[in-house]
Amino acid sequence: MPTLPDSELWFSEVHDPAGTAQSWRLNAVRLDQRRTPYQHIEIFDTTTYGKLMSIDGCVMLTTRDNFLYHEMMTHPALFTHPNPENVVIIGGGDCGTLREVLKHNSISSVVQIDIDEQVTRLAELYFPELCDSNDDPRASLLFEDGLAWIRNAADSSADILIIDSTDPIGPAEGLFGPDFVQQCHRVLRDGGLLVQQSESPLVHQALIKGIRRNMGDAGFGDLRTLGFPQPCYPSGWWSVTLGVKGSHSLDTFRHHDARSKAFTTHYYTPEIHRGALCEPPFLEAALK
């Protein structure tokens, strides 16, 4: 069985549920780390994926492929809503999702709530390209408990809620629960969208099924799970699950606006959006 060369430095993440592991060759042992009251954050410099951030040993993002995640967490929902103005991001401390949301001219306010300020401070140091919109006057960055923030938010006060969380363990565990999803439904206006990062369609089908059950029980109408490639995450395939408040359909989106958008994307296109709405047969069967 081949082994990693002893003479080279590597960062490895083992994913027991999938029976797999991934490794990245490093230029240095470690660039930085912070042990916070919530988690252990580390920054590495890889030879081919640029900077890498891990939390509690799990890869959160890399310089090379984070655009896949951040674009698919934002643009499908933003081009589906007829006129998104007020957006709330729970989590998202690396600020890549915030940056993508603020590319839309219709946005008047974005509130980002992440419990751990150090995620943002490290992103500012090592992923500055993700943080270049942090000073946008439309943006508010709060470092507090997202669960509590949603409980205290006003009814029908947001157009889109994006749950840009880590895996459902530790501080993020409550962001996947039914009570939280019900609160999100209350905070959204009619036609509003809930956007939940929903892990791998290949190895986390039970989690996706639970997310969709919680959304349905909370009163969300149409539900869709959009898959996309994500090389740095387990299985290399990730997903975002969307739910809409009311009787609106997620099948339709502002195709012309997506085609004529005034900003550049590296992955998202109207055609990618349309294709991602088509859930593969194996996932449809698993979610029944």
Task: Answer left, alpha or beta for residue 231, where phi above 0 means left and psi between -120 and 50 means alpha.
Answer: alpha
Residues 6+ apart with CB under 8 A from 226: 72, 76, 239, 240, 241, 242, 276, 277
Distance of alpha carbon 35 from alpha carbon 241, whole angstroms = 31
pLDDT in tens, 88-142: 999 999 999 999 999 999 999 999 999 999 999 999 999 999 999 999 999 999 9
pLDDT for the residue 175: 60
- pLDDT band (50, 70, 90) for residue 268: very high
The class (CATH top level) of 10-62 is mainly beta
pLDDT in tens, 22-60: 999 999 889 999 999 999 999 999 999 999 999 999 999
pLDDT for the residue 228: 98
The bridge status of strand 188-197 relative to strand 220-229 is unpaired
| Cα angle: 239, vertex 286, 284; to 5 degrees | 70
pLDDT for the residue 174: 57
Query: Average of pLDDT values for 227-233?
Result: 97
Catalytic residue check, 164: yes
Domain range list for the chain: 10-62, 66-286
Amino acid at 32: D
Distance of alpha carbon 215 from alpha carbon 245, whole angstroms = 10
pLDDT in tens, 168-179: 555 545 566 889
Residue 13, SS3 per DSSP: strand
Tokens of 257: 């606006």
**H-run or E-run covering 63:** none
**pTM for the full predicted model:** 0.94
- The active-site residue, picked from 164, 179, 190, 251, is 164
The DSSP-derived string for 105-121 is TT--EEEEE-S-HHHHH
**H-run or E-run covering 157:** none
Tokens of 272: 């990618």
- pLDDT band (50, 70, 90) for residue 1: very low
Q: Does domain 66-286 have CATH number 3.40.50.1980?
A: no
| Environment class of 234 (CB within 10 Å of its CB; exposed 0-12, middle 13-18, buried 19+) | buried
pLDDT for the residue 172: 47
pLDDT for the residue 168: 56
